[in-house]
A and B are shown apart, each in its own frame.
Chain A
Amino acid sequence: MARYTEDELLQLKPEGDVPVNFDIESFKAVIDKVKEIQGLQEEEFQQFHRRRSSHHHGKPKIKHTKPKITTDSEGWSTFDNLARRKSVNTSGTLNGSDEDLAVKEPVVIAQETLKVKPNKNISSTKPADSRDIVADKATNNFNAFAALESDDDEE
């Protein structure tokens, strides 16, 4: 059996490059290509698929703004919940004359639930909304007494 120690084999190591019996350039090209693809995949993973590490960071910190409390001369403390708002016109600049108005509390509009029955007979002249009926009555009814009193008589 042919045996060689590590030292014996190292002594037989050539100094320079020796040609090999296969296409080394193709082999290296395959390896380079794989490395390139892996690099791109890693870059893509870092950009789009990286999950936040829960181990190191825990919950994200959310900064809550504390309500401003004002105390008057009599010692009453109240929440200053009137946010000072600045009105901005369409061009994006501050409207100086509106600055005082902006302090006003925003108008709260009561939301009423309106039940509207759909008009089953779409060809009907009846209005779908009952409020429209009242409006129509006010405008369409003919008051004969009112018509007798002309503006010219009053003058």
Chain B
Amino acid sequence: MAKKTDITKAEGDLYLENLTKSFGDFTAVDDLSLQVPQGSFFALLGPSGCGKTTTLRMVSGLEDPTAGRIRIGDADITHEKPYKRPVNTVFQNYALFPHMTIWDNVAFGLKRRGIKDVKKQVDDALELIQLTQVAQRKPTQLSGGQQQRVALARAIVNRPAVLLLDEPLGALDLKLRRQMQLELKRIQTEVGLTFIHVTHDQEEAMTMADTVAVMNNGIIEQMGAPTQLYESPDTAFVANFLGQSNLFPATVVEVDGEDLVLEDPDGSFRMPKSRMGRNVSTDRGARVLVGVRPEKINIAALDAAAAGPADGNFVDGVVEATSFLGVSTQYEVRTPGGEIINVFAQNLDSQDLLPVASQVRLTWKPIHGFVLDGRQDIEAGVEIDPDALVVS
């Protein structure tokens, strides 16, 4: 406080530097560093218990870091009290004050800071969330979606340097959640604040965020734009947690120019070196994981496909199961080498549906696949069903 800069007015990018939080023997957040540019929509994505909420609570000041620093611009807020930080939170269960009207809830932060012109700002905030008509009601008289918006307005009205959202849509039903995702994105664009959104819902993170950081076991597995994470995952966890991936083990045969020649029980194939994730060894005999998204694989009956030369990589197999999903059909294909490969085929022409036990050829472009380090758990991130975790 002796410093001349007023921390409550700090602004700029948010920096987390080597941030660590331990509870006894358990390390919830492990040496985490990241930079969130001012005005961006940033998502922290991960399964429950991955440390994302702990990270959020350290930024808001409700949890004291074991080590590391938190900065907003030049201001160090690592050990500041929550009420001294230019940071506001939208809590998971909204935490609206039940004994106050909606108007008083929204005005709470402004009044504590002794701001003049409270009335206009609160009215504007209520207008932004389109709830002017319920200003004099109590929180319990509002629907879940309305309460969610009030919680948002109560935080936004303070124009914080960083707005934290802790699973803000977790309590809403699916339809309302989709609607609120668009609403949140609109409001973020309108007010231009830095949003940090914590969620376990990969679709939610990808829909809204400019940048997504995938967290697991207290560390960031990978950070980047949603398309980058989806198309070029660095780890098996990211490949499995974001969408679905076919991952199968292979070994390196040689490096041939820009290509990697790989071998697995179903034969040898090529992958571009540019499609390698983190820590992949290109030594001869090194173990790798090859990944292909189910929708990037083309499936055709073997007799028809075998006529021409295969475009890129291919593997033959037998259809074990099919499920018709409307927009697409999901096939499970077993290769001679014993791998199960999932394929999503768009239903352009339903006459092309392949029955179970058909002989098929699967083809995909090498550029659509990715190569990961083979020394990691192939199942990482796979068993986690995001919607099954909502209850916990």
Chain A bound to chain B: no
